[in-house]
Chain A
């Protein structure tokens, strides 16, 4: 292991960011180059992500960015463009011009990143517009990216249009310091329990929810268990003289 401090991002050997750029046609100029960059959410150090003990692999100096797929340029392909056009048109006629932060097409699924202030109007448009008609919400899923500064908490909505047989994903972010996202219960009543669950596990406060209380954990439970800074818990187990640490304290290979 080299004693000198590793350079930032200088040894990108096995990037995970290829997926986003590989699908970008060479001759297409991106609308907003910044949006097309892969979203770096963390930095992975060493070969095995070992913390606290020596990495004897000889790859301890590797520093790699952890990046989610970046935005995609037009055309998105297939009906993705129809949905994007219809959504953009309907939103701008409602006076919202920058509601969609970016669009990610990855592995045949399309994700719209929505500004949280415009979420409620966006889902109402998505449900009501005849060209969109996403009448079925499959619920809310939270994701916590502790290193994604200013965008730590993500709420992910999967919408289904039974009329057009299409499925899209909406993603809304909010910072840890201000964990508020507007509730979509008024548009999709099914989100009631899903938002309560996401509040319970991530601490995202859904403004406008009729009764945002814990749903899985006891009412007096401290903390929000699915956040990355919340420990898994567990005790060491002794077996035949050896002690096996709990899962979150074992050597990991991330």
Chain B
């Protein structure tokens, strides 16, 4: 209650009542202090640094006893000005920035931005098939890893630590695949205007097949552990209700929308990246609560596995096919290769531009420093990210940099449902409701 060592969070009397600063100390003093005040209505400021708020999210809860009468979110603690920064880099460099927004689904950030740029360039039909298949493969692997974190952190926040440990165990396997394919576990900047950065490394398809086989054994463990678990169900069932009308009014998409039974999935309804050619189902549920959203995420991982399997089969037939557009005015000029000092431009390429062709050197220099121009206009190509509709509003003035890139992040929009999902419920259910939205603060604040 009294923490004079903390100059920024002192106990004080304000016009609205006594202020208590709660950190990790003995709670007896708090309980006693509140009892002395003899007031039922308490405003709790939870976060932004709190293990249960799903990131750097600040919750302002007004409580009557243990019932939440009002819930508000404070966001912006992770705002990094990514959209502003993108206006000062080339179109290709923009990928490096936007991949860092929603850090649990980086490939979706890259994909929606890249698809928008490709639409403005009018090269949507020229993207090599292998690049598109690789994009789908990475996005679906990413959906699995993102849903695993959603389930894992959601479990952790209600005290189900085993769900957390097994969730992160499997996510690690997906990140290993990302590392093998792109070189990085996160922040890949791999999907770029015109294609993807690199071809599949040797042995990657075998690793993916091993992963699919393993996941088919591991995913039932989640179902066994959680689906009928009475404690798990007691915490999740009927918590965070939001029906279809509420979802549409608040612009909620993704698992919360599908948990109302409405099968809206952009991969089916407005296909991009050739999703119409893959065999998968849109998962829905009949109870629009936290439990329904959990079951949807669990079932969607099975569907993603199906798509990954189909991608692996297609990639096996596309050995050696190009992964970058043929247009040399857009395609990144160099192929990367592993040298004695790490990853860099391939020796063949260096030999070509330094020893053989002056034109190639000029091209490389122009594309890397100046970049390509994108015709003026604006585009919006949304994708179905693990959290819902993720779209980039990309505006070009005909220059070599984005004039404006705005991301419609599903976490940002879905977090608006916090109030309606938790008001009138118990304070402990607020945590469950927010975990069922699965907001990623990097995407919320950008």
- Spell out A's residues near B (CB within 8 Å): 16-19, 41-42, 44, 48-49, 66-69, 106-109, 111, 135-139, 141-144, 156, 158, 160, 162, 165, 167, 169, 188-194, 197, 214-218, 225-226, 232, 247-248, 252-254
- Give 17 pairs: A residue, B residue, CB < 8 Å, sorted on A: A16-B397, A41-B397, A44-B398, A48-B370, A68-B376, A107-B120, A107-B122, A137-B251, A143-B395, A143-B404, A143-B406, A158-B391, A189-B416, A218-B76, A225-B84, A232-B87, A253-B400
B378 touches A156 (CB 8 A): yes
Which of B252, B369, B397 lies in contact with A253, CB distance below 8 A? B369
5 additional A-B pairs beyond A139-B251, A162-B248, A191-B251, beta carbons within 8 Å, are: A66-B398, A109-B378, A216-B76, A226-B83, A254-B399
Residue of A nearest to B392 (CB): A141
B193 within 8 A of A: no
Asked if B389 and A138 make an inter-chain contact with CB atoms under 8 angstroms apart, the answer reads yes
State whether the Cβ of B412 lies closer than 8 Å to any Cβ in chain A.
Answer: yes
In angstroms, how far is the closest chain B Cβ from the Cβ of A55?
A: 13
Please indicate the chain A residues that have their CB under 8 angstroms from the CB of B382 in the complex. Answer: 138
Give 10 nearest A-B pairs by CB, closest first.
A190-B251, A16-B398, A141-B406, A254-B399, A253-B370, A216-B76, A16-B376, A247-B88, A216-B79, A141-B393
A69 touches B251 (CB 8 A): no
Q: Is the CB of B416 within 8 A of A190?
A: yes
| Choice from A135, A143, A191 contacting B403 with Cβ under 8 Å | A143
A248 contacts across to B, CB distance below 8 A: 88
Determine if B412 and A193 form an interchain contact, defined as CB atoms under 8 angstroms apart. yes
CB pair A108 B377 closer than 8 Å: no
Kindly identify which residue among B119, B376, B406 contacts A17, using a CB–CB cutoff of 8 Å.
B376
- Does B413 lie at the interface of the complex (its beta carbon under 8 Å from any beta carbon of A)? yes
CA A190 to CA B29, docked complex, whole Å: 41
Q: In this assembly, does B185 line the interface, its C-beta being within 8 Å of a C-beta of chain A? A: no
Once the chains are docked, how many angstroms separate the CA of A18 from the CA of B416? 41
Contacts of B403 in A (CB 8 A): 143
Q: For residue A142, which residues in chain B have a CB less than 8 angstroms away from its CB?
A: 406
| Residue of A49, A107, A192, A194 ringed by the most chain B CB atoms within 10 A | A107
Chain A residues, Cβ within 8 Å of B413: 139, 190, 193-194
- Closest B residue by C-beta to A49: B399
Q: Are A69 and B376 in contact (CB under 8 A)?
A: yes
Interface contact B83-A192, CB-CB below 8 Å: no
In the bound complex, what is the Cα–Cα distance between A159 and B399 (angstroms)? Answer: 27
Kindly state the separation between the CA atoms of A132 and B392 in the bound complex, as whole angstroms: 24
For B72-99 the 0/1 string (1 means CB < 8 A from A) is 0001100101011101110000000000
Provide the bound-state CA to CA distance between A109 and B75, in Å.
32
Given A109-B379, A232-B88, A253-B371, answer yes or no on A135-B397 (Cβ-Cβ < 8 Å).
no
B379 to chain A, nearest CB (A): 6
Chain A residues within an 8 Å CB radius of B400: 253-254
Tell me whether B269 is interfacial, beta carbon within 8 Å. Answer: yes
Residues on A with beta carbons closer than 8 Å to the beta carbon of B380:
109, 138, 158, 167, 169
Q: Give B contacts to A, CB under 8 Å.
A: 75-76, 79, 81, 83-85, 87-89, 119-120, 122, 248-253, 264, 269-270, 369-371, 373, 375-380, 382, 389, 391, 393, 395, 397-401, 403-404, 406, 408, 412-413, 415-416, 445-446
- Chain A neighbourhood of B269, CB < 8 A: 162, 165
Binding site of A, secondary structure by majority: helix, strand, loop or mixed?
mixed
CB closest residue in chain A, given B399: A254
- Contact at B376–A215, with CB atoms within 8 Å? no
Provided the pairs A68-B397, A190-B416, A216-B79 are in contact, do residues A247 and B89 lie with their beta carbons within 8 angstroms? yes
* Cα distance A137–B89 in the bound complex, in angstroms: 29
A139 with B270, Cβ < 8 A, contacts A19-B375, A190-B416, A193-B416 known: no
Are B379 and A252 in contact, with the CB atoms below 8 A? no
Closest to A41 in B: B397
Chain B residues near A44 (CB-CB < 8 A): 398-399
B89 touches A254 (CB 8 A): no
**Residue in chain B with minimal CB distance to A156:** B393
Option from A19, A158, A232 in Cβ contact (under 8 Å) with B376: A19
Decide: B397 and A107 in contact? CB cutoff 8 A: no
Please indicate the chain A residues that have their CB under 8 angstroms from the CB of B248 in the complex: 135-136, 162
Contact yes or no, A19 B377, CB < 8 A: yes
> Is A108 a contact of B416 with CB atoms below 8 Å?
no
Q: Is the CB of A139 within 8 A of B84?
A: no
CA distance A67 to B122 in the complex (A): 17
In the assembly, what is the distance between CA of A197 and CA of B408, in Å?
Answer: 11
CB contacts (< 8 Å) of B249 on chain A: these are 188-190
How far apart are A124's CB and chain B's nearest CB, in angstroms? Answer: 13
CB distance from B98 to the nearest CB of A (A): 14
Contacts of A189 in B (CB 8 A): 249-251, 416
Q: Are B75 and A247 in contact, with the CB atoms below 8 A?
A: no
Q: Is the CB of B84 within 8 A of A226?
A: yes
Closest partner residue, chain A, to B366 (CB atom): A253
A75 to B166, CA, bound (A): 57
- Give complex CA distance A49, B398 in Å: 12
Nearest residue, chain B, Cβ from A165: B269
Please tell me if the beta carbons of B389 and A69 are within 8 angstroms of each other in the complex: no
Chain B residue at smallest Cβ distance from A137: B251
CA distance A144 to B445 in the complex (A): 20
Q: How far is the CB of B413 from chain A (nearest CB, A)?
A: 6
Q: How far is the CA of A25 from the CA of B344 in the complex (A)?
A: 49
What B residues does A16 contact at CB under 8 A?
373, 375-376, 397-398
